Amino acid sequence: MVSWEKVCSPKSEGGLGIRDSLAWNIAAIGKLVWWVYYNPDRLWVKWVNQVYLKGQNWKDYRPSGDLSWRWKSICKVKDKMDTGYLNGHWLLDTKGYTLRSGYELIRQKFQHVHWHKQIWNSWCIPKHQFIGWLIAREALMLKGRDNHTHLFQTCEYSRRLLDDLAKMLRVNFPVSNPLQGIAAGHYSPLKKGVILSAISVTFYHIWLQRKNARVDGVLLRPECVRELIKKDTKARVATRLSQGIATRDNLWLRSVNLIV
């Protein structure tokens, strides 16, 4: 399982890039805080100054207990975002306060991950991307003696499928970490995309076979799964190819039987 905070982080930080609605709402309220700092001529700001501030410094202002909860909420946001303001100026953007910069200040930050470009490659099928993301985060719900290291690295069944894939594509990559191996290789963008797509397909089918074995007690032979991997990869290549394909890429795709 992955926490909601991590799910809402950018893909470069290992998340899904989903926007955190609570943090976004706080950032939206931050716009009102910015108006009080920087737009004294707005009618709403003039009203705030007359009714609430009454000449007090906005940075140091604290609401009394008998004021409305809406106004107190705005003041709480002011305190929460205090590090972004300095002498009435917004530090995160030279043009002034924006929702995006306010959201960046509020949201929880995580370390950048090295695998996001391989997982979220445009060549990969979305459902394969999602399973690949869970694998990279070691967040698949596994039971019994299974763990991510065994299922995708040391398991003889998985290693055989990955070895077969390397032979099919005529490339070399470490079975223990194929994504990193391909990322470090010198390939054309098209070739790298096809290889990453094929690895993503393979991981998906390894997970699927493990699930079917647990739920239905059925496990396909590696030879059968290999044909399914090739079929899915070939179908993805067919949907992605354009007219302007380089000669060497064309020759490689023909040599590995991914195009006719």
> Quick one: pLDDT band at residue 190, thresholds 50, 70, 90?
very high
Q: Quick one: average pLDDT of 98-126?
A: 93
pLDDT band at 195 (very low <50, low <70, confident <90, very high): very high
Averaged pLDDT, 227-233: 95
The reported pLDDT for the residue numbered 164 is 94
Which of the pair, 1 or 81, is modelled with greater confidence? 81
E strands in 36-182 = 85-86, 89-90
Q: Do the Cβ atoms of 128 and 19 come closer than 8 Å?
A: no
Integer angstrom CA distances of residue 140 from 37, 48, 145, 151, 152: 47, 51, 13, 11, 12
Task: Give the Cα separation of 53 and 111 in Å (integer).
Answer: 40
User: Residues 3-59: pLDDT tens digits?
Assistant: 999 999 999 999 999 999 999 999 999 999 999 988 889 999 999 999 999 989 998
Instruction: Residue 52: name the closest of 23, 38, 73 by CA.
Output: 73
Structure-derived torsion over alpha carbons of residues 67, 68, 74, 79, reported in degrees to the nearest 10: 40
Indicate the pLDDT class of residue 134, thresholds 50, 70 and 90: very high
Average pLDDT, the chain: 91
Does 145 score more than 80 pLDDT? no
Would the pLDDT of 168 be above 70? yes
Strand-pair partners of 90: 85
158, 193, 191: which is closest to 175 by C-alpha? 158
Cα first-last separation, the chain: 42
pLDDT for 157 beyond 90: yes
Which residue(s) pair with 86 in the sheet?
89
pLDDT at 184 (0 to 100): 82
Residue that has been written with the tokens 């909420």 in this structure? 73
84 or 228: which leads in pLDDT: 228
Query: Hey, what are 225's tokens?
Result: 């799964």
How does residue 144 score in pLDDT terms, banded at 50, 70 and 90? Answer: low
**∠ CA 40-45-46 to the nearest 5 degrees?**
80
Contacts of 259 (CB under 8 A, 6+ apart): 234, 237, 238, 241, 250, 253
At position 70, the amino acid (one-letter code) is: R
Q: What is the pLDDT of residue 243?
A: 65
pLDDT one-digit tens code per residue, 213-226: 988 899 999 999 99
Mean pLDDT of 254-260: 88
Which residues lie closer than 8 Å to 49 by C-beta, 6 or more apart?
A: 36, 40, 55
pLDDT tens across 57-94, in order? 998 899 988 899 999 999 999 999 888 888 768 888 88
pTM: 0.86
pLDDT band at 136 (very low <50, low <70, confident <90, very high): very high
Residue 141, pLDDT above cutoff 90: no
Identity of residue 56:
Q
Q: What is the three-class DSSP state of 173?
A: coil
pLDDT for 147 beyond 80: yes
